[in-house]
């Protein structure tokens, strides 16, 4: 289960004897069980976990509005009943865990833990920023943040702070986010900050599975073993869960469930009704568990935590094999084993399906690097079992943080203790990263918008002496095309190097699923194409003497596609080694978009809406002639409840950096701007998981007359309208044509 061979960490430990000794990695997370044997057994001077504090306490959750209760000890004491999963302990083990049976990426690094999450829930930006600044002031070398807000503007608060910390010489490593199934432009902040390491996830080459065995009374010696289910269910006889087993409506109608399921495990096919309905219908008929097999030859992981009986999913081929055992007169038993086993992962060494897809909203290359985050085994708090497997860019991020510690350790050994800049280390990782195909078995290269420069290769990053800067290129969109760009290749080694320069194109991304009606709905998941750009190089070969550098100009010719489709092209400029079998190739990822992002609509058709509800599926909308009665004496405005408050529901087809909120009196004369309780800057585009965003007005208005910054006052009773004017993507705030405008119906304030 170790990810070390995929990232060459094993070679760094074994051949170079580099373990990250004395490099300090500050972690912002949910606390850490530092009493775990692999994490040092204590906290403070002389221990592995040496720095940090708890900024929030166990009960803190920004979503519930609970107040932080800080204390100086970052220990995770949350038990399983609190909803805690031991996230901070897991990432800490990935970075620097060390025991007889487990080795983290940088086992001799020093850790700090700044606890910003309670036992469950989320954290406000001000808590995260305070932790970042405290870690920086403590003197850490690296900050690792397995956290993300699904918004890709680099001007967001945490992204700006991360950018400034990085500029001061501390590498900030942040998760790209886990919204890959939602399509393009889903990389989150703070990873979109300038200079910040934005980390995508690759799948582990192996994953743990629960093994189960099928036995047939007609041939008791011929037992067949299977695996890859997500939950253990009771062992026992398995029977057909529907009289028409193998139909799309298996167990959807209680009338078609045979009485023979009573006291037995029932097998049904996926289809028509949801998993819980199938399981509950079978439970009502007396079944003790339900196995659902997929309609396709792929893994099935049903989300049915509230079913009446245990429910698991298996592959189509496994379900078919069980059916083949169900011959007339035969008794088929299913037996589950307690000890999980490691099994090859079909998607191993490719980008995880959950890993968010870039680029950043400013079209910077994000993510810019990848670690292994799918099915990662590491430490857990002792009260949660001590060890376990998790998946996410949250797991890839500490793996890269540990790798940065190894590179810093090696650099200091070879340069008299001198510390490399975060930018140089990032570029060196990017130069020598591994590029994966879009899927295993395909003869292509995945998009930089998914894998950035690719999966880290730590040994090559340390050993290779040729370097390219900048290490990524964005040609931007067609309207703002940066057609000619320059990169510099430098030989810091002691022997000459020569390369052939090639354009290694990647798959393209078709971001929208329908543009014919002038609306732009993102494809979820992303759709891939074969549209490629041509690159013209100022020279196609390069020879570098020791200490020499050469500037290479690259001119792009974007693919000839319909600009209305906004095709996202990309690839890798490959410097192919031609003179030394031991020397590695270098690559520089590039991206671009055919089309003008400024022309894209911001608001989805039919929104915004003025309402009094945050129920996305059912809310009353106030039309142009309606009047919203806002009685402030009867209103409630808390994070838990909004009552009798003007609420604005918006579905954003595309992101907007600024939402202007002009306030009009009943004569439609603008009298200022409405002040909202939540921000009106840096909005993310909507997804199927967050189809709408809400802001609400509590009758406040900034007054610029007597103070700077402006004082906030309440409007007098009366009738008002509020505008929500969204700045178009790359729009000029001073150009009225770059705003999408909307004005509410009358709001009568009492």
Catalytically active residues, by annotation: 29, 87, 394
Is residue 487 within 8 Å of 470, Cβ to Cβ? yes
DSSP labels for 606-670? T--EEES---SSS---B-TT-EEEE-GGG-EESSS-EES--EEEE-BSS-EEEEE-EEEETTS-E
Closest Cα to residue 518, out of 564, 569, 558?
A: 564
Is residue 569 within 8 Å of 591, Cβ to Cβ? yes
**E strands within 337-472?**
341-344, 369-374, 376-379, 387-390, 466-469
Cα 277 to Cα 106, 259, 264, 434, 688: the distances in Å are 47, 18, 18, 44, 23
b/e per residue 185-209 (b: at least 16 CB within 10 A):
bbbbbbbbbbbbbbbbbbbbbbbbb
Is residue 109 within 8 Å of 402, Cβ to Cβ? yes
d(C-alpha 326, C-alpha 323), whole Å: 5
Count of beta carbons in the 10 Å neighbourhood of residue 409: 23
Residue 705 CB partners (closer than 8 Å, separation 6+): none
DSSP labels for 308-344? SS-EEEE-HHHHHHHHHH--TT--EEEEE-SS-EEEE
d(C-alpha 82, C-alpha 276), whole Å: 25
Is residue 720 within 8 Å of 746, Cβ to Cβ? yes
DSSP tally for the chain: helices H, then strands E: 11, 46
- Burial class for 180, CB neighbours closer than 10 Å (0-12, 13-18, 19+): buried
d(C-alpha 189, C-alpha 155), whole Å: 9
Structure tokens that stand for 592 in this block: 């671009």
> Which residue has tokens 């007054």?
703
Q: Is 526 helix (H, G, I), strand (E, B) or coil?
A: strand
Q: φ and ψ at 536, to 5 degrees?
A: -115, 125
DSSP letter for 440, please.
T
d(C-alpha 117, C-alpha 58), whole Å: 8
d(C-alpha 94, C-alpha 401), whole Å: 9
d(C-alpha 436, C-alpha 656), whole Å: 32
d(C-alpha 422, C-alpha 144), whole Å: 13
For residue 359, cis peptide bond before it (omega within 30 degrees of 0): yes
> What is the length of the chain?
750
**E strands within 423-532?**
466-469, 473-477, 484-491, 497-505, 508-514, 521-529
d(C-alpha 71, C-alpha 61), whole Å: 16
For residue 709, cis peptide bond before it (omega within 30 degrees of 0): yes
State CA 247 to chain mean position distance: 36
d(C-alpha 19, C-alpha 105), whole Å: 8
> Which residue has tokens 């865990």?
97
State CA 694 to chain mean position distance: 23
Cα 368 to Cα 171, 465, 547: the distances in Å are 14, 21, 27
Structure tokens that stand for 129 in this block: 């920023």
Cα angle, residue 56 at apex, residues 53 and 57 outer, rounded to 5°: 90
């Amino acid at each position: 289960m170790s990810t070390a061979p995929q990232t060459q960490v094993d070679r760094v430990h074994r051949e170079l004897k580099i373990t990250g000794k004395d490099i300090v990695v500050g972690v912002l997370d949910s606390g850490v069980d530092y009493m775990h044997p692999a994490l040092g057994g204590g906290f403070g001077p002389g221990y592995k976990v040496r720095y940090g504090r708890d900024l929030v306490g166990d009960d803190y959750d920004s979503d519930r509005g609970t107040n932080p209760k800080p204390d100086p000890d970052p220990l995770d004491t949350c038990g399983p009943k609190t909803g805690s999963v031991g996230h901070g302990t897991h990432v800490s083990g990935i970075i620097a865990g060390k025991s007889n049976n487990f080795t983290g990426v940088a086992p001799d690094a020093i850790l700090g833990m700044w606890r910003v999450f309670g036992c469950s829930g989320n954290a406000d930006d001000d808590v995260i920023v305070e932790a970042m600044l405290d870690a920086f002031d403590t003197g850490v070398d690296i900050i690792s943040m397995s956290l993300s807000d699904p918004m890709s503007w680099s001007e967001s608060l945490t992204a700006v702070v991360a950018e400034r910390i990085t500029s001061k010489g501390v590498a900030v490593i942040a998760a790209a986010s886990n919204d890959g199934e939602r399509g393009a432009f889903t990389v989150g902040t703070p990873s979109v900050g300038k200079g910040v390491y934005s980390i995508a996830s690759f799948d582990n080459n192996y994953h743990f599975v629960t093994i189960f065995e099928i036995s047939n009374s007609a041939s008791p010696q011929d037992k067949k073993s299977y695996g890859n289910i997500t939950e253990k269910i009771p062992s026992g006889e398995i029977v057909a869960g529907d009289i028409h087993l193998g139909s799309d409506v298996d167990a959807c109608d209680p009338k078609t469930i045979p009485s023979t399921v009573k006291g037995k495990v029932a097998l049904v096919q996926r289809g028509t009704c949801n998993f819980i309905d199938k399981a509950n219908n079978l439970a009502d008929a007396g079944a003790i568990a339900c196995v659902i097999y997929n309609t396709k030859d792929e893994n099935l992981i049903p989300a049915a935590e509230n079913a009446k009986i245990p429910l698991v999913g298996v592959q189509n081929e496994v379900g078919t094999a069980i059916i083949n055992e169900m011959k007339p007169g035969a008794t088929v038993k299913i037996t589950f084993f307690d000890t999980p086993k490691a099994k090859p992962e079909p998607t191993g060494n490719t980008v995880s399906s959950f890993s968010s897809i870039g680029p950043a909203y400013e079209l910077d290359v994000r993510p810019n690097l990848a670690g292994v985050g799918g099915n990662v085994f590491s430490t857990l708090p002792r009260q949660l079992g001590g060890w376990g497997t998790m998946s996410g860019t949250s797991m890839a991020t500490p793996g890269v943080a540990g790798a940065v510690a190894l590179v810093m350790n090696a650099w200091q050994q070879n340069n008299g203790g001198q510390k490399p800049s975060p930018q140089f280390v990032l570029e060196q990782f990017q130069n020598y990263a591994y590029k994966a195909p879009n899927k295993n078995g395909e003869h292509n290269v995945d998009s930089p918008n998914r894998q950035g420069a690719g999966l880290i290769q730590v040994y090559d990053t340390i050993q290779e002496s040729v370097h390219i800067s900048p290490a990524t290129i964005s040609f931007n969109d067609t309207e703002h095309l940066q057609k000619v760009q320059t990169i510099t290749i430098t030989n810091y080694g002691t022997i000459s190097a020569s390369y052939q320069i090639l354009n290694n194109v990647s798959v393209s991304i078709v971001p929208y699923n329908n543009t014919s009606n002038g609306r732009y709905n993102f494809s979820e998941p992303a759709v891939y194409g074969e549209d490629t750009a041509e690159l013209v190089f100022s020279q196609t070969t390069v020879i570098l003497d020791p200490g020499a550098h050469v500037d290479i100009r690259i001119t792009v010719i974007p693919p000839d596609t319909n600009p209305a489709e906004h095709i996202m092209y990309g690839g890798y400029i490959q410097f192919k080694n031609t003179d030394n079998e031991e020397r590695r190739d270098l690559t520089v990822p590039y991206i671009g978009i055919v089309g003008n992002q400024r022309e894209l609509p911001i608001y989805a058709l039919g929104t915004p809406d003025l309402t009094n509800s945050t129920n996305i599926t059912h809310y009353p909308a106030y039309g142009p002639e309606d009047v919203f009665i806002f009685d402030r004496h009867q209103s409630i405005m808390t994070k838990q409840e909004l009552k009798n408050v003007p609420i604005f529901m918006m579905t954003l087809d595309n992101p907007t950096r600024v939402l202007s909120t002009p306030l009009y009196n009943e004569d439609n004369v603008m009298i200022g701007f409405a002040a909202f309780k939540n921000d009106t800057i840096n909005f993310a585009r909507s997804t199927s998981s967050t189809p709408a965003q809400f802001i609400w007005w509590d009758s406040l208005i900034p007054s610029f007359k007597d103070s700077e910054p402006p004082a906030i006052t309440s409007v007098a009773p009366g009738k008002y309208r509020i505008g929500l004017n969204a700045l178009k993507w790359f729009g000029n705030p001073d150009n009225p044509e770059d705003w999408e405008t909307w004005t509410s119906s009358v709001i009568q304030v009492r």
